[in-house]
Amino acid sequence: MSRVVQCVLLKREAPGLDRPPYPGDLGRRIYESVSREAWAQWLKHQTMLINEYRLTPIEPKARKFLEGEMEKFFFGAGSKAPEGYQAPKA
């Protein structure tokens, strides 16, 4: 049986993650209060940020930026797309 969490992003109970997805305190907070569905939304958003800002995730500066955006996405005012960003047409 999977864990159920009160998801901070979806504002409802949903299946939780199997393990912390990120190291440290932020990873623990995400594990405790973010659902699998919300994590999948973050991964899509993160991919867009990496592509639009042409980030190299292995670089410390890019990792710090993505960590800050992750914090805002789940626990802050939300992470925004770059100015002028247009989502691909389906």
Q: How far apart are CA 69 and CA 73, in angstroms?
A: 6
* Nearest to 26, CA basis, from 65, 59, 68, 63: 68
Q: What is the pTM of this model?
A: 0.91
CATH architecture of 4-75: Orthogonal Bundle (1.10)
Q: Where exactly are the structural domains of the chain?
A: 4-75
pLDDT computed for residue 34 by the predictor: 98
Quick one: tokens of 11? 């504002």
Q: How far apart are CA 30 and CA 38, in angstroms?
A: 10
Reported as a single tens digit per residue, the pLDDT across 13-46 is 999 999 999 999 999 999 999 999 999 999 999 9
Do the beta carbons of residue 46 and residue 66 sit within 8 Å?
yes
Strand, coil or helix: what is 88? coil
Q: How far apart are CA 55 and CA 49, in angstroms?
A: 8
Average pLDDT in the chain: 94
